[in-house]
Amino acid sequence: MSETGKSIRVFIADDHALLRKGLRDIIETDEILEVCGEAGTGKEALRKIRDLIPEVAILDIDMPEMSGLEVAGEMRKLGLKTQVVALTMHDQESIFNRAMDLGILGYVLKDGAVTDIVEAVKAASGERYYISPALSTLTMSRGQKGPSADPAISSAGLTQTEMKVLRMISQNKTSKEIAETLFVSPRTIESHRGNIAAKLNLHGTNSLLRFALENKHKL
């Protein structure tokens, strides 16, 4: 069990039954993880996730009827709190970036699922990123911001999502507008704003907005 006395409920969606069984067996070796359901197609996955609301959903990117990314997009539109770990055979930058843009926290290559999946699920349940180590070149590429990036911003340790939020703050967007763009709740955006301000050592009601507007050209 977790520190709160509750297990982390995990949903598995993949069109290969053998792979689902393998993932279930691996996941359930950890005492705080519990597989609460499975699906073999994207539509079935979305329907069951909507009913079960697990803490984490493992979604194969390539599934019949709806892809894992399409399912993740619909989940965000529905405002579901379930975090997503994408399971894939792809190491293409465009697919990886689309997954990150959808707010997916985990991106695991099938080749490394045996060693990576438990850690990815736990990270996602805690709203932390987990990317397969083999994809480090993609994360580095996505993190590059060009020569004009402010060293203070670069060294603050902002996550990709926090950088997106900061850029949209610099465009004078409200938390509600940012939330709609990222398919999350306004409360989540307020949490991001607090984390960003803390990392940048900003204090005061309008300090983050002022900082974002002043550094707009550096973001």
pLDDT digits (tens, 9 = 90+) for 180-197: 888 888 899 999 999 999
DSSP state of 218: G
Question: Averaged over 61-73, what is the pLDDT?
Answer: 92
Q: How confident is the model at residue 53, as a pLDDT?
A: 96
* Dist. CA 14–CA 5, nearest whole Å: 29
User: What's the token pair of residue 66?
Assistant: 């709806």
Q: How confident is the model at residue 69, as a pLDDT?
A: 92
Q: How confident is the model at residue 61, as a pLDDT?
A: 92
Question: Averaged over 30-36, what is the pLDDT?
Answer: 94
Question: Averaged over 26-42, what is the pLDDT?
Answer: 95
List the domains of the chain with CATH numbers: 8-141 (3.40.50.2300), 151-218 (1.10.10.10)
Q: How confident is the model at residue 1, as a pLDDT?
A: 43
Burial of 30 (0-12, 13-18, 19+ CB in 10 A): middle
Residue 141 pLDDT level (bands cut at 50, 70, 90)? low
